[in-house]
Amino acid sequence: MFEEAQYFAPVNTKDDGSVEVELASSHPGFSDSDYRDRRNKLAALAVDWSPGKPVPVAPYTDTEHEVWRKVSTELAVKHRGLASQEFLDGAEELSLPGDRIPQLSEVSEKLSPITGFSYRPAAGLVPLLDFYGVLEDSQFHSTQYIRHHSVPFYTPEPDVVHEVIGHANALAHPRFAALYRLAGQAARRVESDEALEFVSKVFWFTMEFGVIGEKDGLKAYGAGILSSYGEIDEFRKMDIRPLDLRQMGTVDYDITKYQDILFKAESMDELEDVVGTFWAECDDEKIEEILHGK
Ligand code: TIH
Ligand code: FE2
């Protein structure tokens, strides 16, 4: 999930109660009426959901399962060489199916005994404070639709591949799960929109697009890199910068392209010291200080 409202396909509920997802004309599924029907149907399930209700079962088609199969096969191979050790350990523990899209309820059943996290459905854009806030309660908002079959290697829209392969495998490691929870605490603690945006940008450059130094080279732990078998081949060539809160909280990024500025943690310890401690302690005043340098 990510925060740029303008890139999230808006979900509209019409007067007759039906739900329609607005896709941009540049979306690969724009003229595919089957795909659009699927998007509308899955969005309607999530719109209908409210906390306390069971997570809706998404009745996926064979074409959709096939996209998952293809993407998860490609990713599994690349993860072996390019994903961080903790992510790989999480993935092994979680053992997601490779041959079909798991239901979010199934992801929660596997994940919650490991780190306590569970998944809740999202139709589309979730307001920043809700999206991040519930992380503190070990809840993760997830879309249920899958990317269009014509462009399996990358999507600017977070889909079930990104939410589950990218995020759940990380959430299955206790060190990442703890960091996600701290991000949630930070989001709820800060008061201004500016401070919340700063917190969310630090999340973007870490939990979504973070990279980390390991003995045998640079690895990715960010869910956005690890859910795209196009982008995963490119991250080592990007502008790799040291973990710097002020930069992470302020650099602009374009969500429709491979990220060309990435921030490298030297180790999990450094990630926890710099980013974990920031989320654990930040408030509006501390963020002001980081922004305006004292
Ligand atoms: N680009 C990612 C992918 O193709 O899996 C999805 C997203 C990550 C972050 C925002 S959208
Ligand atoms: Fe995400």
Catalytic site residue from 162, 163, 200, 231: 162
Q: Which residues contact 171 (CB under 8 A, 6 or more apart)?
A: 90, 111, 115, 117, 140, 177, 180
Average pLDDT over residues 226-245: 98
228 Cβ below 6 A of ligand 1: yes
Count other Cβ atoms within 10 Å, centred on residue 3: 20
56 Cβ below 6 A of ligand 1: no
Q: Does 46 fall in a domain? A: yes
Q: Does 235 fall in a domain? A: yes
249 Cβ below 6 A of ligand 1: no
Q: Does 2 fall in a domain? A: no
Question: Phi and psi (nearest 5°) for 264?
Answer: -105, 125
Beta carbons of 228 and 159 less than 8 angstroms apart = no
Q: Which residues contact 91 (CB under 8 A, 6 or more apart)?
A: 79, 83, 169, 172
Q: Does 6 fall in a domain? A: no
Q: Does 182 fall in a domain? A: yes
Q: Does 5 fall in a domain? A: no
Pairing of strands 211-214, 261-265: parallel
Structure tokens at 131: 């999206």
**CA 202, CA 187: separation in Å to the nearest integer?**
11
Q: Does 265 fall in a domain? A: yes
Residue list, CB under 5 A from ion ligand 2:
1, 158, 223
For the stretch 113-128, what's the b/e string if a residue is b when 16 or more beta carbons lie within 10 angstroms of its beta carbon? ebbebbbbbbbbbbeb
The answer, as to whether pTM is greater than 0.90, is yes
- Whether ipTM > 0.85 holds is yes
Q: Does 4 fall in a domain? A: no
Specify the range with the lowest mean pLDDT, choosing from 5-9, 10-14, 160-164. 5-9
User: Of the candidates 186, 194, 228, which has an alpha carbon nearest to the alpha carbon of residue 209?
Assistant: 228
Per residue in 66-92, pLDDT tens? Answer: 999 999 999 999 999 999 999 999 999
State the pLDDT at residue 7.
59
* Structural domain that includes position 40: 11-291
Structural domains of the chain, count: 1
Q: Domain of 178: which CATH number?
A: 1.10.800.10
**CA 33, CA 145: separation in Å to the nearest integer?**
15
Q: Compute, in angstroms, the gap from residue 277 CA to the centroid of ligand 1.
A: 26
State the pLDDT at residue 279.
98
